[in-house]
Structure 1
């Protein structure tokens, strides 16, 4: 296994590397076979938005030397209107989370192709939890039903599907990891 360091993103270079990794694994930039076998990311963030989100609550990354090889974006609910495709998710979450409970959104997770199947996905989430469980009761994300690899990977971590909805022909599963 390669040696990776889990940390919070802190430099513009790291945010630019997140953006590059995001583009490399975007559903628009990979084949249907890759989507099925490897999973994919749906939303593309600008570096400026990644920086705003990071300033509010720093993203979780894994690095091999100077290279960002994996990321899990941290998105506070205050960013609910910044990405149009995520607005329906936030509206549903509002009706699902009990009053008085706090949550953070895992805005997107991705592992570089050359670093997959080495435990980095789990390591990223373990670090995410240790960093944020004192502030939040739940970690929430959503996964497209067709992204089978991501669905099973999130279930293996401890996420449970708490709701699903259809938007533009895609069925989305809202997944919750209870940190209590």
Structure 2
């Protein structure tokens, strides 16, 4: 195994992210797999992922050149560029973190994190977030994301890295924990 953490460099890296995402979509997994292994909720299009990558380089884990994990990031401006994200970003702007609304902090959003089944339990999840901290902490104070309350594996993994729940809400898709990790 030759595991490295870096930013996606090529269109092929982005295609591999989309492939890994499709394999782990909530709609493509059994109830047992969702409970035991976790899942991702949103399926990005090529256009959305390309735009996200242009605004914020995406962090990946590679094993012998193949993407085996990813941690997608989004700037708050994505809410203006992708209409489906507007409600989430509007909500995030108002949520307090350390006593003041997130809008007053230098924050960015974790769009999705996923580790391929063959590499789970090998430190990939933690490595992706450590790479995020290394790349983004000079320019940001806090990283924020939403986790489905039913995705207990993801919630535990985020807490292990250092995320803390700062808000809970429900929308037409699910009930969510909003979690934050300060740098």
| TM-score using structure 2 length | 0.93
Tell me how far 1:11 sits from its aligned partner. 0.6
**Offset at residue 72 of structure 1 (A):** 0.2
Which residue, out of 162, 170, 174, partners 2:174?
170
Aligned to 1:120: 124
**Residue 80 of structure 1: CA displacement?**
1.2
Q: What is residue 145 of structure 1 aligned with on the other side?
A: 149
Alignment of 1:59-74 (within 5 A): 59-74=58-73
CA distance in 1: counterparts of 2:74 and 2:174, whole angstroms = 22
Deviation at residue 93 of structure 1 after TM alignment: 1.1
Q: CA deviation at 1:169?
A: 5.9
1:68-108 CA deviation, whole Å, 9 max, x = no partner? 00000011111114161x43321221112355311011100
In 1, Cα distance between equivalents of 2:54 and 2:173: 34
Counterpart mapping for 1:3-22 below 5 A: 3-22=2-21
In terms of mean alpha carbon deviation, does 15-24 or 166-175 score higher?
A: 166-175
Contact persistence 2:94–2:103 (CA under 8 A):
no
Partners of 1:89 and 1:174 within 8 A in 2: no
1:27 equivalent in structure 2: 26
Unaligned runs of 5+ in 2: 96-100
Which consecutive aligned stretches of 4+ in structure 1 deviate over 2 angstroms post-superposition?
A: 86-89, 97-100
For 2:54 and 2:134, how far apart are their aligned partners in 1? Answer: 19
Q: What SS does the corresponding residue of 1:136 show, helix, strand or coil?
A: coil
Alignment of 1:94-133 (within 5 A): 94-96=93-95, 97-98=101-102, 100-133=104-137
Q: After the TM superposition, which of the residue ranges 60-69 and 98-107 deviates more from structure 2?
A: 98-107
